[in-house]
Amino acid sequence: MADVTPSTSKKKSAKAKPAPKRKAEAPEAKTNGNSTDATGLRTKTDRPLTSSRQDLALDPSTKISSSDVCVFYGDKQALFDVNLDILSNHVTALIGPSGCGKSTYLRCLNRMNDVIDIARVTGNIIVDGIDIYDPDVDVVELRARVGMVFQKPNPFPKSIYENVAYGPRIHGLASSKSDMDEIVENSLKRAGLWKEVHDRLHEPGTGLSGGQQQRLCIARAIAISPSVILMDEPCSALDPIATAIVEELIEELRENYTIVIVTHSMQQAARVSQRTAYFHLGYLVEYGETDQIFQAPRDERTQNYITGRIG
């Protein structure tokens, strides 16, 4: 189990300890000694992947595998030994009472906890066969592969066009103006916003309605071609109509992306997800098919939460 302190991992030498035994190993998913894995997540150096990291190869249907993940804020432990495999092209809902660690866990998946000075993460998180807390992983690239949409729509104070073009520009994804126009148009189309904004692309993104702003943030996230999208209560600031549009969009996006969504709405979790994880006081209590979690929960704490007795 690698013990990694994200905010200081560059200063301390985070040693790769022997990898834990993985559940299922798919030979075709194994790395081949190049620094690029099958789905494109690269390490910062060109050095071949070590044998311990080859052992981390995943079942192809597992996109993200977490083992024994603990998070501490200073002395306080917020997550306890979370073991959770997230499947490709599935929507996975994270539910549970306020303060149970949903956002903390979500932030582990693209190392957003690195930006919190007192946060410390231990355990392993493997995305596409790469240990994302390995000190050689380029965090900027990781966050491009594992994008995030926040609770409150947060467009940049720039035009609609620039909001979407920003990421592709810094990642060098467009070689010409027409390339960039195409990326912007396609991203806005995939986010279901193009029809509403195609004739006002150079107006400020902040001038859009809340629901439009959230779809703009989704367009911004998908413009850099992530393979995973993390969403932390993406609809909590939206009205029911905008929520329905975003939920429909999540269903469409699942074809091409793996989505992890935190929600306080049980109805939303039931509508949009195929898998649900129930967290309680920092523990992952139950994880399974969404229908099973809602119709036949195995743990009493899950049962109490979904029937409104706690939370």
* Number of Cβ within a 10 Å radius of residue 36: 14
The DSSP code for 33 is S
Closest separation in Å from C-beta 99 to ligand ATP: 4
Q: Are strands 62-73 and 76-87 parallel, antiparallel or unpaired?
A: antiparallel
Distance of CA 273 to the CA centre of its chain: 14
Per CB under 6 A, 234 contacts ligand ATP: no
> Of 103 and 268, which CB lies nearer to Mg ion in the complex structure?
103
Site string for ligand ATP, 68-87 (x = CB under 6 A): -----x----x---------
Closest separation in Å from C-beta 102 to ligand ATP: 4
Q: Comparing C-alpha atoms, which of 305, 284, 311, 253 is closest to residue 105? A: 284
Report d(CA 62, CA 87) in Å as an integer: 4
- From the list Mg ion, ligand ATP, none, which binds 43 (C-beta under 5 to 8 Å, kind-based)? none
Q: How many residues bind ligand ATP (CB under 6 A)?
A: 12
Closest separation in Å from C-beta 121 to ligand ATP: 12
Q: Name 70's bridge partners.
A: 122
Report d(CA 42, CA 274) in Å as an integer: 29
Question: Is 93 within 8 Å of 261 (Cβ atoms)?
Answer: yes
Collapse the DSSP code of 215 into the 3-class scheme (helix H, G, I; strand E, B; otherwise coil) and give the result.
Answer: helix
Q: Are strands 275-280 and 91-95 parallel, antiparallel or unpaired?
A: parallel
Rounded to 5 degrees, φ, ψ at 210 are: -55, -45
Report d(CA 168, CA 166) in Å as an integer: 6
* Number of Cβ within a 10 Å radius of residue 291: 11
> Of 103 and 243, which CB lies nearer to ligand ATP in the complex structure?
103
Per CB under 6 A, 271 contacts ligand ATP: no
Closest separation in Å from C-beta 294 to Mg ion: 21
> Of 57 and 235, which CB lies nearer to Mg ion in the complex structure?
235
What tokens does 142 get? 């990781």
Per CB under 5 A, 263 contacts Mg ion: no
Q: Of the candidates 98, 175, 176, 178, which one interacts with ligand ATP according to CB under 6 A?
A: 98
> Of 71 and 223, which CB lies nearer to ligand ATP in the complex structure?
71
Rounded to 5 degrees, φ, ψ at 110 are: -130, 25
Name residues contacting ligand ATP, limited to 101-120 (CB under 6 A). 101-104, 116, 118
> Of 24 and 118, which CB lies nearer to ligand ATP in the complex structure?
118
Residue 305, classified by CB atoms within 10 Å of its CB into exposed (0-12), middle (13-18) or buried (19+), is: buried
- From the list ligand ATP, Mg ion, none, which binds 73 (C-beta under 5 to 8 Å, kind-based)? ligand ATP
- From the list ligand ATP, Mg ion, none, which binds 116 (C-beta under 5 to 8 Å, kind-based)? ligand ATP
> Of 103 and 124, which CB lies nearer to ligand ATP in the complex structure?
103
Site string for Mg ion, 70-109 (x = CB under 5 A): ---------------------------------x------
Rounded to 5 degrees, φ, ψ at 289 are: -55, 140
- From the list ligand ATP, Mg ion, none, which binds 276 (C-beta under 5 to 8 Å, kind-based)? none
Rounded to 5 degrees, φ, ψ at 17 are: -80, 165
Name residues contacting Mg ion, limited to 102-121 (CB under 5 A). 103
Residues that bind Mg ion (CB under 5 A): 103
Residues that bind ligand ATP (CB under 6 A): 73, 78, 96, 98-104, 116, 118
